[in-house]
């Protein structure tokens, strides 16, 4: 592996966003052709009229995020996840949300200058978690795949993943179920077999990473476990080799006998009815326990690079003290997929106080300034506060240009 390059850093602007932005979702929310950011807020506002949560949409103005009179919506419960899509077929993006603690979903319809609740607290049998939007039954509108969860361990797992069909107006109803787990922590949709419909992936603590093939008629095949011989921590999908079919990139335990904080990256391709690892892993190094990855093109060369979250997670194993690992980009620098990689750390030298117990909560790779290169965007917890950082990118540099501390 090549030596790490030397970096310079500067700060250019601040984003004034919620007190605890635990999750970031990117989309062109105002329809002006650039990517905006929704920051889900996990900080409750206490009120005599009832507690609530404010969630903010940061509008992108030529690569700068403005926070004067932002688009905003409120929820009575902490949200577990959110997804953007045109849910009522009127040409703009609406929001589907899940509740963190209850089986209550909401749809917020976009009216042009605000989001109005269509059906608040649609109650289901199980607590909801993550959501993906995709047209499952091929009727021209977006349906929802929603994981359900328990905050207590179950043996055997009882919580199904629900397919909820849209009637075209933003009203959803349960259809089929996909597998069961106590808690699903990662999901994705992608076309891995090149048949034109979207397949579904989910990772849970009990069952690991599973693949559900879309049958093209509104149903999915039984879940297929993806086993590579070591624990999979995170995954993402993209067409790595340019064959028109999405491939799978996984962050996993380097070797079965290795300690948990030694990780590796590998990519897999769907061949017929099985998954095949393409060569040996293309990167390995120290990682925080159970950290996420995100695929994107950071240098605009047309191939995928990998963003790995950083931190020093201790909550799962209090007796183990990990070294702090920064977020980093594994840059695909070869002519063949991941033939040569360069690792680039994303540093925060703008933080004057020592960083204590950091952990990256949400990762995004998105081209926010229209230069054809994806910028890393990370929401992080450290020093008993939070920040959102956006690094500008250059073929040789990663420069943090947006920093906001929420301590």
Whether 70 has a pLDDT exceeding 70, the answer reads no
The pLDDT assigned to 4 comes to 32
CB burial class (10 A; 0-12, 13-18, 19+) of residue 193? middle
Residue of higher predicted confidence among 387 and 58:
58
Whether 106 has a pLDDT exceeding 60, the answer reads yes
Sheet holding 127-134, edge to edge: 127-134, 143-149, 159-166, 172-181
Q: What residues contact residue 60 under an 8 Å CB cut-off, 6+ apart?
A: 34, 35, 36, 37, 368
Cis peptide before 156 (omega within 30 of 0): yes
Residue of higher predicted confidence among 126 and 309:
309
Residue of higher predicted confidence among 183 and 337:
337
Q: Which two tokens stand for residue 356?
A: 């204590």
Q: Find the helix or strand (DSSP H, E) in which 50 lies.
A: none
Residue range 192-235, pLDDT digits in tens: 988 888 999 999 888 889 999 998 887 899 989 999 988 899 99
Q: What is d(CA 381, CA 289) in angstroms, rounded to the nearest whole number?
A: 15
Residue range 150-171, pLDDT digits in tens: 655 555 556 788 899 999 999 9
The pLDDT assigned to 406 comes to 40
Where are any strands of DSSP class E within 206-340?
208-212, 224-225, 232-238, 247-253, 262-271, 274-277, 283-286, 293-296, 305-308, 328-332
Q: Given pLDDT bands bounded at 50, 70 and 90, which one contains residue 188? A: very high
The pLDDT assigned to 99 comes to 83
Q: What number is the average pLDDT over the span 391-400? A: 65
Q: What residues contact residue 159 under an 8 Å CB cut-off, 6+ apart?
A: 126, 127, 147, 148, 149, 150, 180, 181, 182, 183, 184
Residue range 292-340, pLDDT digits in tens: 999 999 888 889 999 999 876 544 444 555 567 888 889 888 778 898 8
Determine phi and psi for 236, rounding to 5 degrees: -155, 165
Where are any strands of DSSP class E within 278-350?
283-286, 293-296, 305-308, 328-332, 341-345
């Amino acid at each position: 592996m090549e030596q790490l390059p030397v970096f310079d850093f500067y700060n250019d602007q601040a984003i004034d966003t919620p007190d605890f932005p635990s999750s970031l979702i990117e989309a062109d929310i105002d329809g002006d052709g650039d990517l905006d950011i929704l920051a889900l807020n996990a900080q409750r506002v206490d009120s005599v009229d009832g507690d609530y949560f404010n969630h903010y949409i940061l509008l992108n103005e030529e690569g700068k995020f403005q926070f004067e009179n932002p688009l905003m919506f409120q929820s009575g419960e902490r949200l577990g996840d959110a997804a953007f899509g045109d849910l009522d077929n009127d040409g703009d993006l609406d929001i589907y949300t899940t509740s963190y603690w209850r089986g209550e979903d909401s749809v917020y319809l976009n009216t042009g200058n605000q989001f109005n609740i269509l059906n608040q607290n649609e109650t289901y049998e199980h607590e909801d978690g993550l959501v993906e939007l995709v047209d499952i039954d091929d009727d021209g509108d977006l349906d929802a795949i929603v994981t359900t969860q328990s905050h207590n361990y179950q043996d055997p797992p009882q919580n199904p993943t629900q397919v909820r069909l849209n009637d075209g107006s933003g009203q959803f109803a349960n259809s089929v179920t996909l597998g069961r787990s106590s808690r699903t922590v990662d999901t994705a949709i992608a076309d891995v077999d090149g048949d034109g419909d979207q397949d579904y992936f989910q990772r849970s603590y009990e069952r690991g990473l599973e693949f559900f093939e879309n049958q093209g008629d509104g149903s999915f095949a039984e879940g297929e476990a993806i086993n590579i011989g070591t624990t999979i921590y995170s995954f993402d999908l993209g067409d790595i080799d340019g064959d028109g079919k999405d491939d799978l990139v996984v962050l996993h335990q380097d070797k079965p006998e290795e300690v948990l904080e030694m990780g590796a990256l590998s990519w897999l391709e769907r061949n017929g009815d099985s998954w095949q690892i393409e060569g040996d892993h293309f990167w390995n190094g120290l990682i925080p326990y159970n950290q996420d990855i995100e695929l994107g093109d950071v240098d605009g060369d047309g191939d995928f690079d990998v963003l790995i979250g950083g931190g020093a997670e201790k909550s799962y194993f209090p007796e183990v003290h990990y070294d702090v690992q920064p977020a980093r980009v594994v840059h695909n620098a070869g002519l063949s997929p991941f033939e040569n990689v360069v690792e680039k750390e994303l540093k925060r030298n703008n933080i004057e106080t020592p960083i204590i117990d950091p952990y990256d909560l949400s990762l995004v790779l998105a081209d926010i300034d229209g230069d054809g290169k994806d910028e890393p965007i990370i929401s992080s917890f450290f020093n008993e506060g939070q920040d959102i950082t956006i690094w500008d990118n250059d073929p040789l540099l990663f420069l943090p240009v947006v920093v906001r501390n929420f301590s």
